[in-house]
Structure 1
Amino acid sequence: MRVLIVGKGGREHVLAWKAKQSKLVTEVFIAPGNIGMKDIGTLVEIREEKIFELAEFAQKNSIDLTIVGPESVLALGIVDEFEKRGLKIFGPTKEAAKIESSKDFAKKLMKKYGVPTGSYQTFDNLLEALKYLDTQTIPIVIKEDGLKAGKGVTVAFSKEEAIEALEIAFDIPNNKVVIEEYLDGFEFSIIALANGETVVPLEIAQDHKRAYDNDLGPNTGGMGVYSPVDKIDEIIVNETVEKILKPMLAGMKQDGIPFKGFLFGGVMLTDSGVKTIEFNARFGDPEAEGILPRLKTDFIQVILDVLENKKTKLEWDERYTVAVVMASKNYPKSSTIGSKIEIPKNLESMVFHMGTRVENDELQTNGGRVLSIVSYGTTLEEAKSKAYNDINRIKCKEMFFRNDIGSKMCYNNKNK
C-alpha cells in the first residue's frame, strides 16, 4: 500500500512513523511534512490546505489510503473532495468535523442525544453574554466557537477574568462564544477510531494544556502527555464509551452526518460520573506521541478494519510513555523562528518534530511547539526520568518546557 499523511506537526510525524511500521505499507508520503520526517517517507511540497492539489496528487500517485492530521484541513472539506474522486481517506467530512470547528454545534448535538456535558449558552454579542454572566457562578468557562488550535478557551476563576475573555472574543468580527458550566474533577483524553457507529477506543492519556508547571499560565495546544492513566480504569473507560462516544456517533449517524476518523473526547471524571468537556475531530497532539508508540497492533490494518466495520482487537505495550513538548520561548503568545537547535545523536528518547526547519544545514525552530520528546518506562517515574534526562541534553536558547509532565494528577483548581 501507498499511504499519504496530511500535515506537518508532531502528530503527523508519529502517524507517518507508525504507518511505516505496517507490514501492509510499501511507501509513505507526507504533505507537507517537516524536516524531521525525511527518513520516514517522501515529503511532498503541497501545503495541507491545498486540498484539490492533494487530491490530484493522490490520484496521480495511486495512493491507497490517506490519513488526515490537522483539524483545519478537515474543516475545509478535504474528505469530501477525496471521496468525490473515489479516494480512500480516514477522517470526517466537513459537516461531521463541525463537532470541533463549532463548539455550539457540538453542544447542541450533545444536548439532543443526551451526552453528559456541562450546561451552556451561546452568544453572538457582548451585551447579552455579559447579562448571562451576571446570573452564573464562578468559576466559569468561556469558549470561542470556532477552531482555535487548542486555544481560545478561558477557565475564568474570577468575574473580571471572564469579562476580559468575553471582550477579547467579541473584538473579533462575527465571533460567537459559548459560556459553559465549569466541570470539576479529573480530566483525561480518550481517542477512538470510528466509522458510523463502529468505535474502537485507544488507550487513555492525560494532556497538560497550560503553559507552565503546576497548571499555571495560558491554555496551549498541549505541553505534554502521559499514557496509560492509572486512575482511569476499565470501568471508567467503558462508561465513557457507552455514555459519551457511542451516543454521539449514533446521534450523528441519525442526523445524516456519520462520523469517520479519529474521534477525540476530552472528558472530566466528576463526582457524578464522566462528562464531556469537548469533542475533537482528529487525533490529539501531543496525545498521538504518547499513545501510538504503545500500540503493538498494525496501525494501518486497524484503520482498514474500521473502514470496513470489521471487528479488531488491539494489543498494547504495557510500558508507560511520557511525551514532553519543547516550545518556543513566548508560546502561546508568539513563536520563535530561526533559533538553532542541537540534538545529540545518542538520545534514549524518541524525538518527534512539531515545528522545525533546516537553514544553511542548521536545525532551527519554526513554530510555537517545536519538539516532542517521548520515552518509555516500566514505571511512570522511569519514563519521566528518561525524557527529562534527554531534554536537558538538547540545546536551544529559545525553547522552554514544563518540568512536571506525568506529575499532574489533580492540581488544586485555585492554582489554575
Structure 2
Amino acid sequence: MKENVNLLVVGSGGREHAICKALLKSDKVAKVYCAPGNPGMTFDGIEVVAIDELNFDALKGFVYDNDIEWTFVGPEDALVAGIVDSFREDNLKIFGPDKRAAQLEGSKNYAMEFMDKYHIPTAKFKTYTTSDEAIAGLKEFDEPVVIKEDGLAAGKGVVIAQSYQEAEDEIRLMFRKGQKKVVLEEFLVGNEYSMFLVLSDKGYRILPMAQDHKRAYDNDEGLNTGGMGAYSPLPQLFDAEYQAMITDIVEPTVKGLEAGDYHYHGILYIGMIMTKEGPKVIEYNVRLGDPETQVVLPRVESDFAELIDAAINDKQLPELKISDKAYLNVVVAGAGYPKQAVKGQALPKLESQKDIYTIYANVKIEDEVVYGNGGRILSIVGEASTIEEAHKLVYKYLENYKWNDCFYRHDIGVKAFK
C-alpha cells in the first residue's frame, strides 16, 4: 500500500463512522473523507463532504480533485444503484460489489435462487407476484411464516406473522405499498449470527463475528429495526458450529460467486441461524452491518486499510490479527423508531471515558449542541475483557445521562452470558 494516502468513505451512518475510524488508524492513511457523512464524525478527525451518496458524478469529481486513492462504499442503496460500475467506467478504484453482485441484497428472490443453485442451506421459500397468489401459497408453510419484501428495506422489510390471518393482512399491505414481489419463507428456529467476509479474486478473509438485536424492545419484542445493538465475540458459539458455518455456508457461497463469474470485490455479510440441522442462511447483505460494524472493526488489530487496499488491487490478502477483547454496542434511537421517530431533541453532552466510544449516525450540531435527527441517533460502544463487563460498562454510562425523547434496549449482549 502507498504511503500518506487520502481515502473516501461513502455513507452517513454509524457504520460509516466506524469504518472511517478503522481506516484512520492506519499509519499509511493521511486523511479520511466521508460523503455525505454526519457532523458527529468530525469529533474523530473525519472530514465530512456534503455530497449525496447517490450523486455519482459529484463523488467522482471529488475523487479527482482530492487525490483519493480509493473509495469504500458503506450503504447498500449506492451499491444496488451501481456506484461501483460508475467508478470503474472512469478507472477509479472502489471497494464494493458491482450492480449485478449487489442483487444478492437488492432482491431477496435473487439471493434465494443463488442459494438454491449452489446448494447453500437456507429456508424453504417461494416468491409471488400478486397478493392472491401469495395468500393461496400460505398453506405450503407452517405458522409462523416469514414474509419478506423483495427489494431493499433498510433491514425492516421482514415480518414474522404468527398466524395465517396476520400473514394475509401483511401480504395485502406489502402489495398495496407497491411491492412487485413478496417472498414467503419457513420460520427457522435457533440463534442468529452475523458473519462478514472481505472478498477479492485472490480469496477471502473472515472478520470477527457478531450478534445483532433486530427487534425494537427488550426480550426481542416490537417491530424489526435496522438493529438496536450488537456485540462481539460470541462466547456461546462452539468451535464446531463455527467450522460448520465455513464448510456448509462460506465455502459454497464463495465457490458460487466464482462459478457465476461475479469477480466480487467487497464485503459479503452472511446472516445465519444455527438450527438443529446445522447452519442456514437467513440473508446476504453486500456491505458491513449496522450496528455490527461498531463492534467488529475495533477487534481487527491488523491494518484494516491495508486489507482493503490488497482486496481492491487483487494482491494476496494479509492474515488478520484479531483482539480477544469484547465490544458491546447499544444504539440510542429517537422515540417512535422504527416508525415515525422524534427529531430535534437536544442530546446530553457526553463526557469522554476510558473504554467508551460514541459513534454518531443521525445527528446535527448547532451552537455546539448535538441534536437527534431521526431514526437511530448514535451508538455507545464499550470495550472490556468480557461481554458481561462491556454490558455493565455501557449501561452504567448510559444511565449517567437523561435521554429526552429517546430510547434504547436494556438487554444487549445478555444472550452471551445468561
Instruction: Identify the TM-score tier after normalising by the shorter chain.
Output: over 0.9
What TM-score do you get using the length of structure 1 for normalisation?
Answer: 0.96
Find the counterpart in structure 1 of residue 18 from structure 2.
14
Q: How far apart, in 2, do the equivalents of 1:19 and 1:246 lie?
A: 28
* C-alpha RMSD of matched pairs (Å): 1.6
Q: How far apart, in 1, do the equivalents of 2:417 and 2:191 lie?
A: 6
Q: How far apart, in 1, do the equivalents of 2:332 and 2:54 lie?
A: 25
Contact between 1:197 and 1:249, CA under 8 Å: does it hold in 2? Answer: no
Find the counterpart in structure 2 of residue 292 from structure 1.
297
The one of 313, 324, 335 equivalent to 1:329 is 335
Find the counterpart in structure 1 of residue 42 from structure 2.
38
Give CA deviations for 1:295-321 in whole Å, capped at 9, x if unaligned: 111100111223324142111221111
Give CA deviations for 1:24-75 in whole Å, capped at 9, x if unaligned: 1011111111111114222111011111211121122111011110001111
Q: Higher mean Cα deviation, 85-94 or 155-164? A: 155-164
Q: How far apart, in 1, do the equivalents of 2:417 and 2:118 lie?
A: 30
Q: How far apart, in 1, do the equivalents of 2:39 and 2:164 lie?
A: 45
Mapped pair 1:351 → 2:355: no
Mapped pair 1:368 → 2:375: yes
Q: How far apart, in 1, do the equivalents of 2:151 and 2:72 lie?
A: 23
User: What is the count of residue pairs matched by the alignment?
Assistant: 411
Q: How far apart, in 2, do the equivalents of 1:363 and 1:386 lie?
A: 23
The one of 140, 145, 151 equivalent to 1:146 is 151
Q: Higher mean Cα deviation, 272-281 or 52-61? A: 52-61
Contact between 1:249 and 1:259, CA under 8 Å: does it hold in 2? Answer: no
For 1:211, give the aligned amino acid.
Answer: A
Q: How far apart, in 2, do the equivalents of 1:172 and 1:196 lie?
A: 40
Structure 1 residues 344 and 135: alpha-carbon distance in aligned structure 2, compared to 1, 3 A threshold: closer
Find the counterpart in structure 2 of residue 396 from structure 1.
403
Q: How far apart, in 2, do the equivalents of 1:167 and 1:137 lie?
A: 19
Q: Higher mean Cα deviation, 194-203 or 162-171? A: 194-203
Q: What SS does the corresponding residue of 1:334 show, helix, strand or coil?
A: coil
The one of 226, 238, 242 equivalent to 1:221 is 226
Q: How far apart, in 2, do the equivalents of 1:3 and 1:157 lie?
A: 47
Gaps of 5+ in 2: none
The one of 336, 345, 348 equivalent to 1:342 is 348
Q: What SS does the corresponding residue of 1:154 show, helix, strand or coil?
A: strand
Give CA deviations for 1:160-187 in whole Å, capped at 9, x if unaligned: 2212221211112252110011111111
Give CA deviations for 1:190-237 in whole Å, capped at 9, x if unaligned: 011011471211111000000000000000000000100112233322
For 1:12, give the aligned amino acid.
Answer: E
Find the counterpart in structure 1 of residue 77 from structure 2.
72
Q: What SS does the corresponding residue of 2:199 show, helix, strand or coil?
A: strand
Contact between 2:7 and 2:32, CA under 8 Å: does it hold in 1? Answer: yes
Matches within 5 A, 1:111-130: 111-130=116-135
Q: Higher mean Cα deviation, 138-147 or 56-65? A: 56-65
Matches within 5 A, 1:98-177: 98-177=103-182
Q: How far apart, in 2, do the equivalents of 1:283 and 1:170 lie?
A: 29
Q: How far apart, in 1, do the equivalents of 2:276 and 2:346 lie?
A: 47
For 2:390, give the aligned amino acid.
Answer: A
Q: How far apart, in 1, do the equivalents of 2:88 and 2:414 lie?
A: 43
For 1:366, give the aligned amino acid.
Answer: N
Structure 1 residues 347 and 57: alpha-carbon distance in aligned structure 2, compared to 1, 3 A threshold: same
Q: What SS does the corresponding residue of 2:381 show, helix, strand or coil?
A: strand
Structure 1 residues 409 and 346: alpha-carbon distance in aligned structure 2, compared to 1, 3 A threshold: closer
Find the counterpart in structure 2 of residue 312 from structure 1.
318
Find the counterpart in structure 2 of residue 185 from structure 1.
190
Q: What SS does the corresponding residue of 2:403 show, helix, strand or coil?
A: coil
Q: How far apart, in 2, do the equivalents of 1:391 and 1:343 lie?
A: 12
Q: How far apart, in 2, do the equivalents of 1:193 and 1:82 lie?
A: 20
Q: What SS does the corresponding residue of 2:261 show, helix, strand or coil?
A: coil
Structure 1 residues 410 and 105: alpha-carbon distance in aligned structure 2, compared to 1, 3 A threshold: farther
Find the counterpart in structure 1 of residue 9 from structure 2.
5
Q: Higher mean Cα deviation, 168-177 or 220-229? A: 168-177
Give CA deviations for 1:286-339 in whole Å, capped at 9, x if unaligned: 000011111111100111223324142111221111100000100001122211
Q: What SS does the corresponding residue of 1:189 show, helix, strand or coil?
A: strand
Q: How far apart, in 2, do the equivalents of 1:245 and 1:148 lie?
A: 24
What TM-score do you get using the length of structure 2 for normalisation?
Answer: 0.95
Q: Percent identity?
A: 38
Shift of 1:189: 0.4
Q: How far apart, in 1, do the equivalents of 2:7 and 2:68 lie?
A: 6
Q: Higher mean Cα deviation, 38-47 or 363-372? A: 38-47
Matches within 5 A, 1:245-260: 245-260=250-265
For 2:20, give the aligned amino acid.
Answer: A
For 2:29, give the aligned amino acid.
Answer: V
For 2:391, give the aligned amino acid.
Answer: K
Q: What SS does the corresponding residue of 1:141 show, helix, strand or coil?
A: strand
Q: What SS does the corresponding residue of 1:408 show, helix, strand or coil?
A: helix
Q: How far apart, in 2, do the equivalents of 1:159 and 1:356 lie?
A: 40
Gaps of 5+ in 1: 412-416
Mapped pair 1:380 → 2:395: no
